[in-house]
Structure 1
């Protein structure tokens, strides 16, 4: 199946022979469709990752049993944070924030692991509806939760929403010009920045964590509106008549027509073909796994332990600032594809692993004198992670054929999730070990 832009060009050329007097309206239609799709994919990236980011930003509050009668947050059952060891030099919650990370990533990991095997049998629209419903349910469940266990169930819903949505929308990019990958990536970066910043800003302004979460229920609605009302149909028109072409250009994605014209699955890729494509992607998948392992080991294993007592910020506020600065770096680099393209992503993986080693050494020896140095390092960490994500998927889109691109995007989604899952598993025992040190 040829690219979407190519289909429009061929349509325009053939119509030019028959209806030469009216080329300008057709050009305007194509430009309008381009910008609708660009904005649509940006909003889909924003909305899809928003709940995931907010749950990580709220991790410290979730584990501290934050409650909100009115606009005043109070902590149950005791003061926050609860030290695991009274003589420890670290100010620890009784459970590592990596527990929230695992709840926020393991369902996503399972979805992405199984997606290449059969998710293509389910049309896109039901997937998007399930994703939106799970995102809304996560905000409501965590907001009204009275226990860590219930809150973690809400985090699991956010994970299902984000994982299912990422697999769905990255696969959908196979039917549009490759430029939409940049818009999608920028939107996911925007989700990180706006999600972390909105949670930080609203709680700093005095709004309780509960009311902050409930105020974000408009995001799942925006996800559904962006998909059903904004994206144009990627299927080429079946007739040369102008009315049918215009109808196809404006038709929301509310039916199965994408599934029926898939470039990869429409030709039934064999298991051997899928394995061959997957092996060809390993030189991109492995560096992305390492990058995400290193940065989420930092984020959920070390952030809580990088606590400075000589500042006006409380422990919870410092944690929220760390999350916000990390997401700011991710947003900047995920939006940088038009001005900076990186082919050798293994170099980014090496730099991120050096970041991990440096911050782990600081947690152990406490040699950095100021929290502002940590702020700069965390911003740099986010820049590396975002650049790795957008360049990896852009390179994959360039190097795979139309027939294999949808499967390649689906299969590569496992990279970041695998790295994050491994980091969460290892961060839990590290937290327990460090918090028991005198």
Structure 2
């Protein structure tokens, strides 16, 4: 971990405020619906359905989107992407907010729509940081952390402290995506995108008379692939018709090879940290309960959104730390997060930690670890991946956190029920009083 005053001064020097503010808002708006929906999980599905059900309905469409979108998104103009993302988010939240309380299927459909937007948005905006430098990545990370803090905190305050209904709280959030559109068209300097477009894109198919000769293809393939892979790719290329469709297929094959190289250094540690922390959040946290008299709460349903808000505070702090703190070994915090999962699962079973305030501290630490791995992973991609591959790589790595959350959702569906049943069998029925 490197933390120096010189590095901090260097990181803050020459910041383009328009870029920083725009990407902070992109991160905030793109992620806030996801956080609000998870914070509202208990209220949306009730106490008898595992909260991981909401997580799965959130993450499956996002995971599918992140698996597909990095390979196709270049076909859609940047400006059109932003409008589509905003429309999908608004429609999804309106469906969730306006559906009757018993219409769980309709609510899940709205969640799916909103999270398709969120997944595609993460791919889009992280890829966009390629054109705007480290400032944009740091601002995006901080904005996503801010989404967690504001989303979870605002939901907890609105429904617990101020007594607003869930419907009113969700409905009022449906206008937020307008800010994404305004930030893109009115705040973000668009010259870097216009310049990139005028130079042409590696994704664009070439006209037949401009297609490269075989030796040019061999040189490019050799630079991207291993010797054996390069030979196989060139062999395939040489036998295919020289057409625009052929070059699209070649581009897809090249991207798949690039994605393999991202797996171990970047995707796996991000997957591990997310699988651990979301298993905690969705499978374990709902059962981390104490007698009300020993806590600051008046009802048991207040534990869950409060844990969520504290976790998001940790995420916000660490995701905002990129200009000052970087970790170079991504696997260390991933293992520490796994230890958090073991510790809190043991607490749910045996209740050996005497105070909820200590649990608050552990949950804060959990958020700090998760946010730090997130921003450090994408910073490493920006620094270590060649420039020609960077835009694609930044988008492709996003699938790893969604995959981790998906696995956590599957585990959480079973784990929460088992932990609650254990507690009831041992004289603690608090999880049934939510």
Asked if structure 2 preserves the Cα contact closer than 8 Å seen for 1:263 and 1:402, the reply is no
Q: In 2 relative to 1, CA 374–323 (structure 1 residues): closer, same or farther, beyond 3 Å?
A: same
Asked if structure 2 preserves the Cα contact closer than 8 Å seen for 1:281 and 1:412, the reply is yes
2:183 matched residue in structure 1? 226
Matched, 1:375 2:364: no
Q: 2:111 aligns with which of 141, 155, 164?
A: 155
The secondary structure found in structure 2 opposite 1:217 is helix
Matches within 5 A, 1:1-400: 34-64=16-46, 93-146=47-100, 147-203=103-159, 204-235=161-192, 261=199, 264-266=202-204, 270-271=251-252, 273-282=254-263, 283-310=265-292, 311=295, 312-400=297-385
Asked if structure 2 preserves the Cα contact closer than 8 Å seen for 1:264 and 1:402, the reply is no
TM-score (norm 2): 0.79
Listed one character per residue, the Cα deviations across residues 205-254 of structure 1 (whole Å, up to 9, x for unaligned) are 1111111112223311111111121111143xxxxxxxxxxxxxxxxx7x
Report the Cα distance in structure 2 between the residues aligned to 1:416 and 1:388, rounded to whole angstroms. 10
Q: In 2 relative to 1, CA 177–263 (structure 1 residues): closer, same or farther, beyond 3 Å?
A: farther
Shift of 1:280: 2.8
Asked if structure 2 preserves the Cα contact closer than 8 Å seen for 1:264 and 1:407, the reply is no
Q: In 2 relative to 1, CA 413–260 (structure 1 residues): closer, same or farther, beyond 3 Å?
A: farther
Listed one character per residue, the Cα deviations across residues 318-376 of structure 1 (whole Å, up to 9, x for unaligned) are 11101100000000000001111111110010100000010111111121211111111
What residue ranges of structure 1 are gaps of 5+ in the alignment?
Answer: 1-30, 65-92, 236-252
Greater share of helix: 2
Shift of 1:271: 4.5
1:73 matched residue in structure 2? none
TM-score (norm 1): 0.78
Asked if structure 1 preserves the Cα contact closer than 8 Å seen for 2:327 and 2:376, the reply is yes
Higher mean displacement: 344-353 or 274-283: 274-283
Aligned length: 361
Report the Cα distance in structure 2 between the residues aligned to 1:277 and 1:399, rounded to whole angstroms. 13
Report the Cα distance in structure 2 between the residues aligned to 1:133 and 1:180, rounded to whole angstroms. 24
Shift of 1:257: 7.0
